[in-house]
Amino acid sequence: MWFRFLRGSGYYGSMNDMMYQFWCVDGGSTTDFALNIDFTTEPVVDKVSGMSMDATALAALLAGRPKDMTSGDLAIAGEATLNSQGLLTYGSYTNLIPWSEDMTGNTWLPSNATITPTTFQATLQNGRVGFLVATLDSVLYTVSFRAKVASGDAPYSTAALRHTNSPAGNNTPVTLTDVYQTFQVTVLGMVGGGNVQFGIQDNAAADWAEITVTDFQVTETTSIMPYVKTEATAVVVPNNYSNTGIGYQWDMGVGGVNMPDLWAAWAGAPAQGELQIEWTPHYDSDIVTENKAIAGVKSSTSDTVRYNAQLKMILDDGTLTVSSDAIPWVAGTKYTIYAIWGTHPVEGANRMQVGVTDGTTVWESAIEVFDGSFDPTQFFKFSWINYFPQIIKSAKMLKTPMSGTWFSEPPTRTEIDFFTQGAAISPTLAGTADVEWHWADGSVTTGNDPGVQDMSLTDGNNYLSIFDPENVTQLDFSDITDLTLDVDDMLLMPNLVGVYLSDTEATGDISGYSALTSLTQLQMQNTGVTGDISGYSALTSIKHLQMQNTGVTGDISGYSALTSISSLRLNGTGVTGDISGFSALVEATYLRMENSGVTGAIADWSGYTRLEDLQCQSSGVLAADADIMVADMWTNRVMLGANPLTTNISTTAPVTADSRDRIEGLGTYAGDGLVQAGCVVTYTAPV
C-alpha cells in the first residue's frame, strides 16, 4: 500500500501494492483566479472575480489598448481556477454523486442511522449512510466531505470515510472537531470492477454524536478537486481541473501583441512592469534537483520565472538572467515572489531584479542588465511541467514597478481569518491599505467599507486580505455577535488607532497590544479575550479603553500615566492595583472598575471637571479609602454635581458617619451634601 498524508507538509511511505491517499484540509474555500493588470504606480491588491473570459474575449480587452487601460481593467483567465487547496489545475472532471448536499436523496442508502439532508447520527455500531458508484479495476476514485460535530462532542474519533468493496478496506477513520474540516481519501476501484459504496459511518459502540456533514463528492481522478454541488444528477465541471502535475497556461492573444508594453518593447521604449506571485510550496527545498517553472510568459527559449537546482529564483528575459540568493524554503510556508524590470529609478538604465520574501527575510538578486523585452509568444503560464505540489494563490502585474527603490522595502501582506454567519454584518476598516474581503459565499469585496453582507446561509469561514497592513488605522467588527477571530492578528497592523470588537466571540491573548502605541480606541468588552494588560500604561494616547466583562488581568497602578483617557471600563475583570495615582486622569468621563481587584483611594478630585460615572464597588477599595474619596468629592461637590457624577460606594466595612453625612447632606452638612449638589450617589452599607 502506498500512503500519503498532507496537512501543510507531506509524508510518504509504501507497503504492498495497493494505492491509497488521504487529505485533511482545515477550512479551505474555492477561489477563482484572476490576473490583475494595474496601470498605476500605487500598489493594488490582486483582484478576484467570478467573471468568465475566454481567449477571444481576453484578446479583445487587451489588444491594441496598452496605453489607455486604467486601473480597474481586469484581465481574467476564465479557465484558470484554484481548487479547494489552492492548486491551479485544468481539464474537466465529474462529481459522480447525485444529491451531494442532501443525504435523504433517493440514491443514498442509510443503515442503522438517522439522517436529515445534512446530519447523520448512528443508532447502532457501524451505522452508516452511503451511495453506490460503479468502479473500474485499477482506477483511482477520490471521495471527500466536510464535517463537524457539536462542541460538546469534539474531538470525535469514531467517524470514518466509507469505501466498502475497495481494495483499501471498508473505511478510513477520521477525527472530527467542532469546526468544519474537509476530509478526502483516494482508493482503487473494486477488484474486477463493480460497485463501491462511498459515504460516512460511525464505529462507536454507543453514545453516537450527531455529525453535520455535507459537500460529498466522488471523482475518478488522482487530482485534488474543488467541491461542486450536485442535486438530482452528476455534474461535469468543464474548465481546467485535471492533472495538477502539468499546470496551466492561457492565451494572451494572437502573437502576444495584447500586452506589449509589459513584456516587450513598445514604440521603441523598453518593456517595464512588475509581477508579484503568492506562492506556497508543499515540499521542502532540499528535495529539488532540477530547474522548475513557477510562472511567467512562455518564451521561445526559457521559463521567465523559475528556480534552479541550486534553489535560486531566476528571472530570464530570453537573453540575460538574474538569480536570487539560495532560498531554503519550507513546505507549507507562504512566500511572495517579485520580478521587476524596466528603467531603474536610480540608475536610469534597463535593469531587472527578482526576489522572494516570507515577510521577514528577503532573498534577492543583484540589479542586473535587462535587454528590454521578454520576447513573449502567445501564452502566460503557471507551474508548467512542475510536478511538485504547490499553491499559486494570486498573481498581480503592475505597469509601473511599485518598489521605488526595488527590494529595499518589500511590500507586506497579511490575512485575517474570521467566522460569522450573520445575516446583516457590516465590518469596516480605515486607512490607506488595499484590502479584499473574501466572503464564505465565494464573493469578494474590495475597499475599507464592504457594505452589508449576508453570511447566514454559508459555512461562515471568511477572510480579509490586507496589502501593507501597516497602513491600516482602524478595524471595526463590533456587534457581530457570532464573530470569532484571533486577536493576535491585529498585532500585524502596528499603526492601529482604533480596534472595535465589542460584543463578539473574539478570543486570544491581548497582552501584546501594549506595543500598539498609536491606539486611541480599544473596545473589546463582552468578549473572550484574555491577557495581562499591565503594560497598557504605554498607551499614552488611549482615550477609550473598554475591556469590561473579559478575562484580562494585571496591575493597573501604572495607568496614572494615561492622562488622555476619557473612558476606562475594566469592571468585571481580574485587574488589580492601587488607583491612588488616578487623580491625574482629569480627562476621564467614565471610571468603571467595580467587581475587580483594585485598591487605594483617589484623594484629589479637583481636576475631574468631566467625570460622570465612577464605580469601584465590590472591588478591593476599603472603608478608609472610601472616606478619603468622599471627603474630597464633597470639597469639589459643586463641580462634580454639574455633570452630574453618578457613583456607587460599597465597602467591606462601614464608612464613617461623617462620610455618610457628606453624601446625604446631614448633620454638620445639612442640606449641603453630594446629593444636594446634584451627584447621584448610592452608598450600600455592609451587611
Residue 263's SS3 state is helix
Which of 385-394, 419-428, 562-571, 657-666 is the least confident region? 385-394
Encode burial over 351-368: b for 16+ CB neighbours within 10 A, e otherwise.
bbbbbbbeeeebbbbebb
CB 198 within 8 A of CB 131: yes
pTM comes to 0.46
10 pLDDT higher than 50: no
Q: State the pLDDT at residue 72.
A: 27
Which amino acid, one-letter code, is at 377?
T
Grid coordinates 476501484 are at which residue?
189
Mean pLDDT of 337-355: 79
Q: State the pLDDT at residue 406.
A: 55
Is the previous residue joined to 155 through a cis bond, with omega within 30 degrees of 0?
Answer: yes
Rounded to 10 deg, the angle between the 657-664 and 623-635 helix axes is: 40
Query: How far is the C-alpha of 185 from the C-alpha of 224, rounded, in Å?
Result: 10
DSSP code at position 303: E
Q: State the pLDDT at residue 269.
A: 67
Q: pLDDT tens digits for 71-80?
A: 222 232 223 3
Query: How far is the C-alpha of 463 from the C-alpha of 456, rounded, in Å?
Result: 16
- Categorize the per-residue pLDDT at 375 as very low, low, confident or very high, splitting at 50, 70 and 90: low
Grid coordinates 500598539 are at which residue?
516
Q: pLDDT tens digits for 92-104?
A: 457 788 888 889 9
Q: State the pLDDT at residue 513.
A: 92
368 pLDDT higher than 50: yes
Q: State the pLDDT at residue 676.
A: 94
Would you list the domain boundaries of the chain?
Answer: 2-26+93-237, 35-91+244-408, 424-684
Tell me which long-range contacts 448-451 makes (C-beta under 8 A, separation of at least 24): 450/426, 451/426
CB 599 within 8 A of CB 593: no
Q: Which residues contact 612 (CB under 8 A, 6 or more apart)?
A: 589, 590, 643, 644, 645, 646
Q: State the pLDDT at residue 362.
A: 85
Q: pLDDT tens digits for 116-164?
A: 999 999 999 999 999 999 988 877 788 888 899 999 999 999 999 999 9
Query: How far is the C-alpha of 199 from the C-alpha of 204, rounded, in Å?
Result: 16
Query: How far is the C-alpha of 305 from the C-alpha of 338, rounded, in Å?
Result: 10
Terminal C-alpha separation, the chain: 75
Of all residues in the chain, the percent with pLDDT exceeding 90 is 29
Q: Report, at the CATH architecture level, how domain 2-26+93-237 is classified.
A: Sandwich (2.60)
Q: State the pLDDT at residue 306.
A: 76
Q: pLDDT tens digits for 385-407?
A: 555 666 665 566 666 665 444 55
- Categorize the per-residue pLDDT at 497 as very low, low, confident or very high, splitting at 50, 70 and 90: very high
Mean pLDDT of 229-243: 54
Query: How far is the C-alpha of 120 from the C-alpha of 664, rounded, in Å?
Result: 66
Q: How far is CA 299 from CA 155, 265, 303, 318, 338, in A?
A: 52, 14, 6, 7, 19
Q: pLDDT tens digits for 323-336?
A: 888 888 887 788 88
262 pLDDT higher than 70: no
Q: Which helix (H) or strand (E) holds 262?
A: helix 260-263
**Nearest-CA neighbor of 472 among 492, 498, 488, 493?**
493
Q: State the pLDDT at residue 398.
A: 66
CB 58 within 8 A of CB 253: yes
- Categorize the per-residue pLDDT at 557 as very low, low, confident or very high, splitting at 50, 70 and 90: very high
Residue 289 burial by Cβ neighbours in a 10 Å radius (0-12, 13-18, 19+) = exposed
**Nearest-CA neighbor of 271 among 317, 324, 303, 310?**
317
Q: State the pLDDT at residue 399.
A: 63
**Nearest-CA neighbor of 595 among 619, 576, 612, 577?**
619
Residue 678's SS3 state is coil
Q: How far is CA 247 from CA 241, 292, 385, 388, in A?
A: 10, 12, 6, 10
Q: pLDDT tens digits for 409-458?
A: 444 567 788 999 999 999 999 988 878 898 999 898 988 999 999 999 99
CB 374 within 8 A of CB 271: yes
Angle, vertex CA 164, rays to CA 161 and CA 167, nearest 5: 105
Same fold, 2-26+93-237 and 35-91+244-408: yes
**Nearest-CA neighbor of 658 among 687, 683, 686?**
683
Q: State the pLDDT at residue 427.
A: 93
Q: Output the average pLDDT for the chain.
A: 74
Which of 92-106, 236-250, 349-363 is the least confident region? 236-250
User: And the C-alpha cell for 170?
Assistant: 471498508
Query: How far is the C-alpha of 590 from the C-alpha of 588, rounded, in Å?
Result: 6
Query: How far is the C-alpha of 44 from the C-alpha of 37, rounded, in Å?
Result: 9
Which amino acid, one-letter code, is at 97?
I
Residue 638's SS3 state is helix
- Categorize the per-residue pLDDT at 260 as very low, low, confident or very high, splitting at 50, 70 and 90: very low
Q: How many CB atoms lie within 10 A of CB 525?
A: 21
CB 173 within 8 A of CB 159: yes
Q: pLDDT tens digits for 18-73?
A: 222 222 222 222 222 233 333 222 222 222 222 223 344 334 433 433 322 222 22
Edge-to-edge strand ranges of the sheet holding 292-299: 248-251, 376-382, 292-299, 303-307, 312-316, 321-326
**Nearest-CA neighbor of 304 among 359, 256, 253?**
256
**Nearest-CA neighbor of 305 among 353, 368, 377?**
353
CB 235 within 8 A of CB 215: no
Angle, vertex CA 238, rays to CA 234 and CA 240, nearest 5: 125
**Nearest-CA neighbor of 279 among 356, 174, 343?**
356
- Categorize the per-residue pLDDT at 469 as very low, low, confident or very high, splitting at 50, 70 and 90: confident
Residue 519 burial by Cβ neighbours in a 10 Å radius (0-12, 13-18, 19+) = buried
Q: Detail the DSSP E strand segments found in 10-117.
A: 10-14, 20-26, 35-38, 74-75, 81-82, 88-89, 93-95, 109-111, 113-115
Residue 260's SS3 state is helix
Q: How many residues does the chain have?
A: 687
Q: How far is CA 402 from CA 19, 163, 358, 411, in A?
A: 48, 52, 18, 9
Q: How far is CA 29 from CA 393, 460, 531, in A?
A: 12, 11, 32
User: And the C-alpha cell for 181?
Assistant: 474540516
- Categorize the per-residue pLDDT at 251 as very low, low, confident or very high, splitting at 50, 70 and 90: very low
Highest mean pLDDT out of 4-13, 566-575, 612-621: 566-575
Q: What is the largest CA-CA distance in the chain?
A: 105
7 pLDDT higher than 60: no
Choose the CATH number for 424-684 among 3.80.10.10, 3.30.420.40, 3.10.310.30, 3.50.50.60. 3.80.10.10
- Name the fold adopted by 35-91+244-408: Jelly Rolls (2.60.120)
User: And the C-alpha cell for 63?
Assistant: 489588444
